Amino acid sequence: MNKAEKVNYIIDELEKLYPVVEVPLDHKDPYTLLVAVLLSAQCTDKRVNQITPLLFERADNPFDMVKLSVEEIKEIIRPCGLSPMKSKGIYGLSHILIDKYNGEVPKDMGALEELPAVGHKTASVVMAQAFNIPAFPVDTHIHRLLTRWGITNGKSVVQTEKDAKRLFPKELWNKLHVQIIYYGREYSPARNPKLSKDFITKNCASKKVLKTYADYEA
């Protein structure tokens, strides 16, 4: 398949598998989504969803969050890892949201990326899932899969995002990035993937990639 054929095949298969998708991080509004995505860095969504109820019971908005100390936030979110950096980020961005945006999360990529501990991927998720503004967040899972499928050369997540945006229709970006995450978890994990199960890779990948699978048969 050429790239155009791969793109159409991937879209069709993911739509069959996951016609309805929800963000795997529990949240109720843009602020709680922003905090949850920040916490998900180098942490599983499952673990984040176990911790955010404890945090949001104390503070589910920036006004209540700044009433907590950084140490209090850090103690609650410790199981998510990187708690010193994340707690400072949550506390700091909450202050900025109050001071600059009346406590609201801005609908602007640049403004989001200026917030403490908020990188491009986190900002992209918030733009896509909180505000339904087209974005294509690329995490390590999406980077891995689009590389396996020959959609990108895999040199960097920056290049992967550019290639994804160039090849996939803009109106599908927000849904597609979640569908790819779902597929990766179910069919194409990072460790010990099985080609017999990973049918999109089986049909899209180069022979060089296919040979990395333990159950590859020429």
Which amino acids are annotated catalytic? 121, 139
Locate all alpha helices (DSSP H) within 102-206, ordered by sequence.
Answer: 109-113, 120-131, 140-148, 157-167, 173-187, 199-204
Nearest one of 139, 128, 163, 151 to 201, comparing CA atoms: 151
Alpha-carbon distances, residue 34 vs 19, 40, 65, 128, 213 (angstroms): 25, 10, 13, 11, 36
| Total length of the chain | 218
Cα 147–Cα 148–Cα 154 angle in degrees, nearest 5: 20
What is the 3-class SS of 16-40, one letter each residue? HHCCCCCCCCCCCCHHHHHHHHHHC
